[in-house]
A and B are shown apart, each in its own frame.
Chain A
Amino acid sequence: ITHRHRQYRGGRTYITLGHRAGDMGVNTIHWFRKGLRLHDNPSLRDSIQGADTLRCVYILDPWFAGSCSVGINRWRFLLHCLKDLDNSLRKLNSRLFIIRGQPTDVFPRLFKKWQITHMSYEYDSEPFGKERDAAIQKLACKAGVETIVRISHTLYDPSKIIELNGGHHPLTYKRFQDVINRMDPVQLPAETITLEVMKKCAMPISEDHDERFGVPTLEELGFDAEGPEIAVWPGGETEALMRLELHLEKMASMENCEHPRMTARSLLVSPTGLTPYLHFGCLSCRLFYFKLTDLYRKVKNDTPPFYLYGQLMLREFFYTTATNNPHFDKMDGNPVCIQIPWDRNPKALAKWAEGKTGFPWIDAIMTQLRQEGWIHQVAWSAVACFLTRGNLWISWEEGMKAFEEMLIDSDWSVNASCWMWFSCSSFLESFFESYCPVEFGRRLDPNGDYIRHYLPLLRSFPARYIYDPWNAPEEVQKAEKCIIGVHYPKPMVNHTMASCINMERMKQIYQQLSGHRGLGLLATVPVNPNSGASTSQVGRVNPGANQVRDLKLSLLLCK
């Protein structure tokens, strides 16, 4: 706190340290970023207490995108969330304020205009979030605004997990599990914000609120909103809570609810899918956690096992791994990422991203991703493997960028983690499994219904050839009016040759990493990665240094 305020009102002097109370009142801003909900929102709940006025804001700024391209499905989902939030706030005699601009510009203005004394927001553990919030904290301090920050986007405080693990983030999921078992129990969700909770808190709303602060439409954001689309994934807290109930009902009715078997149907959009809602914070992960716990106790009359919370815990693991690593989404300079000499091939990358690889299984998945903004994890692993260590040998960073644009539930931490995992660049699991772009899908969905749904060109291809249409005899292709190489692309690689070469390459990389000298494949995966030393140091190629070093070297040698 760098300065004091002096206010003279009616002869009395109020001297405050970063807190302008008194006749001005306690004026609060709640800053929504993720956490787009009124249930389990402790930072909002705490800032309401003692507040005279409250305004809830959402800043529309480049920070949301991270990169410059964010696809239409993500925007649509976000706008639904904001609309839903606005509606919920209306019921509390308030509204949501959408403000355009950068937070560092917007907040000083607002602090002054609305005479803000307090600001609240949900803690963001991601590196860029922390950086942004540190800057805002500074501005708040300068303006004498007190900040109220609470953790509610994750089950635990990531820094506490790291502390309990001796100051390092757990390097494997198993290790993470051990640490979690020693943590204090998950905190209960905060009470939902209701009229009762609001009590005496006022929400000043102007008549022209909609014009100035209303939720924009897709068109206003510059999108060509094509046709009357019913969103496959409707955003918002209301939808999220409804889905949660459906999800739990479904689980209760399944026999083996902790380990559901995957079927072809799982690939399609699920009416009980929850990941996008967790990502945007329409659904509290803690609420989900406790509801799962209650359900299990009721049905099985037993303490829930760790893997019941698999989805939530993995998410937690990824957040913890990423929190102190601003280079987490890159290979270079990222201590947890194995340095692999990926190929640079924009043409091949484009074919993959646009679903034009010539492998219907891959293309159907990428089509679903582009159209709907969501694919099943298994589908994700298939296309990730194809792009990276399986076939194209292109960097996972490219895959991550494409998913950031298209995937609705793409968390920065989760996205990077999954891409590194699927490309065998981190987390040190075995790498021998390769998902054949023909056989894998065929085993899962022998009739190819999924492909027929997303690739209309191949809709009536016989099941025998739908996964490898290039092997279909000419007559078949002619009959279906789909000549491979003309109407639908030929396969862009020979899968067998590619996987043979890539397998050997991965083995050599892992061999260098672990220092394993034997002939075995499995033994090349390094064990005991918790020794503290960064495992990516061994066999590390240092891309940046060589050029400069060698130039200097050659100059020196000339003398």
Chain B
Amino acid sequence: MKVDVNPICSSVEKKVASESPDSNWARLPQELLLHIFQYLPLLDRAYASQVCRGWNQAFHMPELWRCFEFELNQPASSYLKATHPDLIKQIIKRHSNHLQYVSFKVDSSTESAEAACDILSQLVNCSLKTLGLISTARPSFMEVPKSHFISALTVVFVNSKSLSSLKIDDTPVDDPSLKVLVANNSDTLKLLKMSSCPHVSPAGILCVADQCHGLRELALNYHLLSDELLLALSSEKHVHLEHLRIDVVSENPGQHFHTIKKSSWDAMVRHSPKFNLVMYFFLYEDEFGPFFIEEIPVTHLYFGRSVSKEVLGRVGLHCPRLVELVVCANGLRPLDEELIRIAKHCTQLSAIGLGECEVSCSAFVEFVKMCGRRLSQLSIMEEVLIPDHKYTLDEIHWEVSKHLGRVWFPDMMPTW
């Protein structure tokens, strides 16, 4: 909240000119105090609040209590300290109705997650705009008894009525609670991040897409994705979608994944031509069957486990909107053809990362030449590049730098 201090300053100056120096500080207008206090860290502000009644009142102004991050850690499970319980009590008592942007950071212990739920249950007078539940280590919200979590969360859903941004990844949120969310916040919800929420079904998330027409950012797991969902997000009433993030994760080998029709993706692109589709794949090599068979509007593609040459070949053919490609590992056959194909067809590509892969130096230079200066991120591990008759390793970085228009070196790991 910015306050224009100029009119205030001039009025203060006038006051200062007419009165003795000693009483100035006590007469500073509240707006100015507020502005200054916003620059101070919380503890310094608290010390300032002890100076006099006026400053104490300023300290407790609602504007200073809009944002808070609760850090909940146990000494046995974290190196980090926690927000002091007394401070938490005070905030709930005096300022819970001022809170608007709230996040909870919890460590891997169930205790911490439960403490977060307890606080949530008490936020009855809040009208939250932002809520974030963040696990800094293992997802401990999943360890909390589901009913306890759900009832705490629905307190916020019901009371806030103006939630705009909600981050509940790795939590036991379920379909009924999403219904409550929608019933109370459908007009305001813009961002929903709920990756790895195993208790939600495709119908549950479809309900959100159907009702929350202002939704611009959505993050979820692939099993929640459906043709209906994409069509709902592309309906006339719906605003343009900005980001859609999908995690495709296989817990055990041999899992089956459904396909999404090309027509559904096409509808998305027609409705939101500029939207970003971010996909993170954590699959076993033989589970890629349903993917990249037809054109898909993915813009940011990440392969967290080994992905085959063949699939990368398909990526080259079917991902015309690709902006970033990161391949963690591929195996020991050179990706020369596949890279050239990607350079040719993915004309928007500006970032590529290759981990445990192999590419011959000549093919790599060719790739960079074809992409040219649009490659702003080129993160290649040293071991990826195989010297050949045309280029050795020392020569290659000059060639690549030349085509990129900036000095470039491969990434390295300390090995010898």
Contact = CB atoms under 8 A, between A and B. Distances in A.
Given A434-B328, A520-B351, A378 B415 contact: yes
Interface in B301-355: 302, 304-306, 323-324, 326, 328-329, 331-332, 351-353, 355
Interface string B128-158: 0000000011110000000000000000000
B55 to A, nearest CB: 12
A64 B299 CA distance: 54
Contact of B82 (A331, A434, A439, A547): A547
Given A381-B415, A552-B43, A523 B377 contact: yes
Interface in A410-447: 417-418, 421-422, 429-430, 432-436, 439-440, 443
Kindly name the residue among A422, A519, A552 whose own CB sees the greatest number of chain B CB atoms within 10 A: A519
B84 A553 contact: yes
B46 interface: yes
B84 A174 contact: no
B81 A543 contact: yes
Interface in B143-189: 169-170
Contacts of B136: 341, 505
A482 B377 CA distance: 47
B79 interface: yes
A520 B301 CA distance: 9
Interface string B60-97: 00000000000100011111111110110110001000
Interface stretch (B20-28, B200-208, B262-270, B405-413): B405-413
A311 B300 contact: no
Contacts of A546: 71, 80-84
A421 B414 contact: yes
A500 interface: yes
B46 A377 contact: no
A430 B412 CA distance: 9
Given A343-B108, A344-B77, A521-B324, A550 B83 contact: yes
A262 B332 CA distance: 12
A314 B355 contact: no
Contacts of A429: 411-413
B11 interface: no
Contact of B76 (A344, A440, A544, A556): A344
* Interface size classification for chain B: 35 or more
B107 interface: yes
A121 B61 CA distance: 65
Interface stretch (B30-38, B119-127, B245-253, B288-296): B245-253
Contacts of B79: 331-332, 341-342, 344, 395, 543
Nearest to B416: A311
A12 interface: no
The 3 A-B pairs with the shortest beta carbon distances in the complex, nearest first, are A550-B84, A554-B86, A433-B355
27 contacts: A262-B415, A310-B416, A311-B416, A314-B416, A341-B80, A341-B107, A393-B108, A429-B411, A432-B326, A432-B353, A433-B329, A433-B355, A435-B356, A436-B305, A440-B356, A443-B331, A496-B250, A497-B251, A499-B282, A519-B299, A520-B300, A520-B377, A522-B352, A523-B376, A546-B80, A547-B84, A550-B86
